[in-house]
Amino acid sequence: MAKRSILLLTVLAGLLSLPGAVSAQTTHSHPKPTVIDGRNTPELIPDLTAYRLFFIAVTPKDDTSEEFTKEDIHLAGIGLGFSDTVAVKNILDDFRKQYDNMVNEYNGGLRQHPGSQADYNAFSAQVEALVTKTLKKIEATVSEDGANQFHAHIQHEKKGMQLVTVQ
């Protein structure tokens, strides 16, 4: 009986090693990512994406003085007047609180339902709406020159951005 089991296992192992013996092979096809490099083609980076990246990069992740200093340095680099800088700082700080709440809510949904696919498209649309609302608030609050300077700064910042898309 033992010899028969060993022989059967040996035959099965041999059959499985033959080319084409396992017909249920799965082939995975992954889309190739596209990289948009702002140094070469800043115009290909969508404005809303550039604003979102700037808003997230500039605003403090926590309440440490180091984080607020980083924000102040970035905002000073725009060259806005004092009142416009203060207004933009307050608007962006409000953006960050709302953005962090959205991220925490989205991640909480993933933790509550492990293995499920959270609706990333809905989350992405919420973030895009928040960026649009924040941008409109900046435009409505700062001076016309300040708004123009802010927009020009973001266009310049695109040159330091890279965007990876997967289709």
Winning range, highest mean pLDDT, from 15-29, 98-112, 136-150 = 136-150
Give the model confidence (pLDDT) of 70-111 as tens digits: 888 989 999 999 999 999 999 999 999 999 999 998 888 777
- Nearest-angstrom CA–CA distance, 146 and 133: 17
- Nearest-angstrom CA–CA distance, 145 and 110: 43
79 compared with 9, residue with greater pLDDT: 79
| Single pTM value for the model | 0.76
Would the CA dihedral through 89, 94, 98, 103 be positive or negative?
Answer: positive
Q: Which helix (H) or strand (E) holds 93?
A: helix 82-112
pLDDT at 86: 95
Q: Is the pLDDT of residue 122 over 90?
A: no
